[in-house]
Structure 1
Amino acid sequence: MSDLPCIYDMSLVNEDSKLKQDIINGKALEVILILLSGSKTIKEISRELDIPSFSVQLYIKRLLDANLIKVIDTQVVDGKIEKTYDLASTDIEILNNLKNSYSKEDGKENIELSAMHFASMTREMIRNINKYKDKPYKVKAYFIKADQEKMKEFKKDLEELFEKYQKLENLDAEDTYGFISVLAPYKLK
């Protein structure tokens, strides 16, 4: 019985030191990518990631603490409380236009695959530049100090640019292009 006090006293997870690192590097990012395809419960996220529900609960707590996701529904299912989670902001979109373009039969699976593979798709886009040097491409990252109001104006410009890009779609074309944008505050360490 001497083990019990030790278990009660020790902190199994140091949330402060792990939070930032895990959101970027761990399964927490995969949870965000899953939620890009729509609202989910812990049970659904657990099934998609193929990890235990108690592990998903840890990531959900971290994402809630970071205000990246929110609870949108709470129900009692089989005598247990079941919460449904969604992204905290509508300004996080990846391939959301696919929600409307797929049929009901194959849509859910395709949307989830697209969202979950966002990071690998980005890497592949950059890797493919060498193979297709003769085709248009541009990869650029730039970090600036700027006023919040200026960034709000720029965000509107960026949304207009995305709309312009989406209007270029030609389903008969042979080439596929990806356009990825990330505008967010950044803090240097």
Structure 2
Amino acid sequence: MNDTPRHILYDILLKRDARYDGKMFFAVTSTGIFCRPICPARKPKPENVLYFSDADAPRIARFRACKRCRPETRPGSPAWKGTEATIIRAMRILARGDSPDSMAELADELGVSDRHLRRLFQKHLGRSPIEIRNENRLNLAEAMLTDPTSQIADIAFASGFKSLRRFNTAFRQHYKISPSEWRTANGHTL
């Protein structure tokens, strides 16, 4: 950081350039806080900024880590990823066969409110957790429907639906035909 002109470093800071995330840190002398270049906080005056190439140097210089961008965490850790880590964990839980039935249970397992969880899913995936869960269950059901010896009711319960009626409704909404019609149309009948 010593050989790079200060105005270029400050420009990286103003642009919140993600290419320098984890490679450059800045400390603000007026607040005593150090951040990552992508921090969403209001940017300081150029004369109040010190630049560092690693996260340990600002701590040694007695600066506190920012609570918004968490510069003290290592790259790739859940704290570094932020809300993306919550979405990744939620997707893993929803992919399990025994995923929670209600979004309140899922949110509780993740340690967030169900409203916040719905907001995160909408922001990152453009769909609700219930839509993702039903899609996972329907994909599993579709794979099981290829076995002509399996009963549709057994497939409904094995894929995670609590009732045959809910399974049929979800299947019809997604595929525009019933499970038995799908089985017949795809040649998976006895």
Query: What is the TM-score when the length of structure 2 is the normalising length?
Result: 0.27
Which of structures 1 and 2 has the bigger CA Rg? 2
Query: What is the TM-score when the length of structure 1 is the normalising length?
Result: 0.28
Choose between structure 1 and 2 for higher RCO, CA contacts under 8 A separated by at least 6 residues.
1
